Structure 1
Amino acid sequence: MSENFPTQRRRRILDRVRANGAVKVAQLAEEFGVSHMTVRRDLDRLVKDGELHKVHGGALLQESASAEEPGFQRKSTLQLPQKAAIARAAAQMVEPGMSISLTSGTTTYEVARLLRAVPGLTIVTNSPRIADLLQDAPAAGQTVQLTGGLRTVSDALVGPLATAALRTLHVDRCFMGVHGFSVQDGITTPNMLEVEVNRLFLERCDSRVVVADSSKWCLAGLYSSAPLHEIDTLVSDDGLDETAVEELRQHIENLKIEKVVES
């Protein structure tokens, strides 16, 4: 097959990353019928060429640097089946009448989409997009409270107005999206102003849930919002390998791995 020629194979790998935002070594090895070592050599070459950024078990586009903050629109096109599976699992953790918070992000946006059908919710968010989505939700009795503040590239409201609002609130459960997560760095963000907002979201709730697809594993933003052991539940997808799952279980009490069904 043509994919067995290194140059053509690397071109196909790069196409996969551009389409999906991330690739996994195991998936590429199976698809191209080559060894894991061959795929790793291909990724190393693409990293050397400045095309990719290697992460545990795979690679991302090079533009996903620790200090870069991706925009909402670009992120909303990535890892769609994974985000859908994670959102379904997260939505099952919400009951009518609860008060919850949703941080800004494309995965939490998918959670919010499913919560439109849950009656009697009070939802606090620092995401104008999530607030707009929920404003005319069909379920009766939903209340949406926006925190206010400065708007970041990723459409999160941050800064003094946001932190002041959050300090006056307390909810049953927080659902947090992240730029990256790892054992060493915890949950991270590329935006310094998001750190304090994220910490307050985690402090001002009874239960802390991080929703993050497997491409975020071992991806580190410039700033750490919290160590993993402060998270009650992590909801991710089955793209995490067994080693990653075992590491995470040692630091997080509840780990939910959702099976992804490709559309």
Structure 2
Amino acid sequence: MRSAGSEPAGAKRGQGQPMLAAQRQARILEEVQRTGGVRVNDLTRLLGVSDMTVRRDLDVLDSRGLLTKVHGGATVRRSGSTDEPAFTVKAEMEQPAKDAIARTAAALVRPGTAIGISGGSTTYTLARHLVGVPDLTVVTNSLRVADVLHAHETTNPGANQTVILTGGMRTPSEALVGPIAVQAIRTLHLDQVFLGVYGMDAQAGYTSPNLMESETNRALVTAARNLIVVADHTKWGVVGLSAFAALDDAAVLVSDDGLSEDAREVLSDEVGELVLADRAGQ
């Protein structure tokens, strides 16, 4: 028997009563609006509940149109074809898929070649897997990609990599775009171009929410002897404001095993080769 004023069995000092579902969901929305995206693991720690409870809350909020549930977490609800999340937000989402895609794509690169890498969180992850490839020339319009490769070259001078940053206007995705970037790319001939995309769709093809980024990506496509698109499964069915390439422009599309059967069927017919990286293998 407990004495008057003592804590209920199982209660923890310093903690109030467990949150009601509505309170948890309000807190989740607050986090999503504050950061642009949240992960299930982070929410379980923040709220002190199981991941199953968090996932149920995310399902409810997604069904009400208050956020977008994605693998491993949730993002702010996309308001339209011009919505462009910040790089830091995108980099937190689908990390296992992006790493699996990056490892698979990196295996396609050979020493002594010249490649192009576009802006984006998946291509940023790819760059981290390319630091060990010797005698590589990399042309990029991504500040993040250039930083990764330059940092490795500084500490490992034997890497013998040449990094060319295009210049241009900066976007929320940390890409350099516009006339300066396009002019720099138009003079080049690249063995491979690795392109991240905002969305890919059976009718719209590969798209971007940013008109100038779309124009810059179009120049990269033209410069490529072989175009390799890197895009996780959540990009399927997403359509940005401007299309810059058709699905069949890609010699290779590297995605992950979360891609739906319908998407696999369409893409297998359209792209030169569809490669699905195993997320669990990471």
| TM-score, scaled to structure 1 | 0.80
Matches of 1:210 and 1:113, distance apart in 2: 17
Matches of 2:97 and 2:62, distance apart in 1: 25
Q: What's the secondary structure of 1:119's corresponding residue?
A: coil
Q: Which residue of 1 aligns with 2:278?
A: 259
**C-alpha deviation, 1:130, in angstroms:** 1.0
Partner amino acid, structure 1, of 2:129: L
Q: Which residue of 1 aligns with 2:39?
A: 19
**C-alpha deviation, 1:140, in angstroms:** 2.3
**Alignment of 1:218 onto 2:233:** no
Q: Which residue of 2 aligns with 1:239?
A: 258
Matches of 1:92 and 1:154, distance apart in 2: 25
Matches of 2:281 and 2:61, distance apart in 1: 26
**Alignment of 1:185 onto 2:216:** no
From 169, 177, 198, the equivalent of 2:188 is 169
Q: What's the secondary structure of 1:261's corresponding residue?
A: helix
Q: Is the 1:173–1:206 contact (alpha carbons within 8 Å) kept by the matching residues of 2?
A: yes
What count of residue pairs does the alignment treat as equivalent?
Answer: 235
For residues 45-74 of structure 1, give each alpha carbon's deviation from its aligned partner in whole angstroms, at most 9, with x where no partner exists: 64563313589xxx8641363211111111
Matches of 1:120 and 1:220, distance apart in 2: 37
Q: Is the 2:100–2:281 contact (alpha carbons within 8 Å) kept by the matching residues of 1?
A: no
**Alignment of 1:116 onto 2:135:** no
Q: Which moved more, 1:60-69 or 1:160-169?
A: 60-69
**Alignment of 1:148 onto 2:163:** no
Change beyond 3 A, Cα 1:168–1:19 = same
**Alignment of 1:66 onto 2:81:** yes
| TM-score, scaled to structure 2 | 0.75
Change beyond 3 A, Cα 1:48–1:77 = closer
Q: Which residue of 2 aligns with 1:3?
A: none
Q: What's the secondary structure of 2:92's corresponding residue?
A: coil
For residues 178-234 of structure 1, give each alpha carbon's deviation from its aligned partner in whole angstroms, at most 9, with x where no partner exists: 111111111111101011100110110100000001111111111111110111110
Identity among equivalent positions (%) equals 45
Q: What's the secondary structure of 1:201's corresponding residue?
A: helix
Matches of 1:54 and 1:195, distance apart in 2: 26
Q: Which residue of 2 aligns with 1:85?
A: 100
Q: Is the 2:131–2:159 contact (alpha carbons within 8 Å) kept by the matching residues of 1?
A: no
From 108, 114, 129, the equivalent of 2:144 is 129
Q: Which has the larger radius of gyration?
A: 2
Matches of 1:64 and 1:117, distance apart in 2: 40
**C-alpha deviation, 1:248, in angstroms:** 0.8
Matches of 2:129 and 2:62, distance apart in 1: 38
Any gaps of 5 or more consecutive residues in structure 2? Answer: 1-20, 41-50
Change beyond 3 A, Cα 1:119–1:253 = same
Change beyond 3 A, Cα 1:140–1:18 = closer
**Alignment of 1:159 onto 2:178:** yes
Change beyond 3 A, Cα 1:64–1:82 = farther
**C-alpha deviation, 1:19, in angstroms:** 1.5
For residues 22-59 of structure 1, give each alpha carbon's deviation from its aligned partner in whole angstroms, at most 9, with x where no partner exists: xxxxxxxxx97xxxxxx9xx95x64563313589xxx8
Partner amino acid, structure 2, of 1:50: G
Q: What's the secondary structure of 1:118's corresponding residue?
A: coil
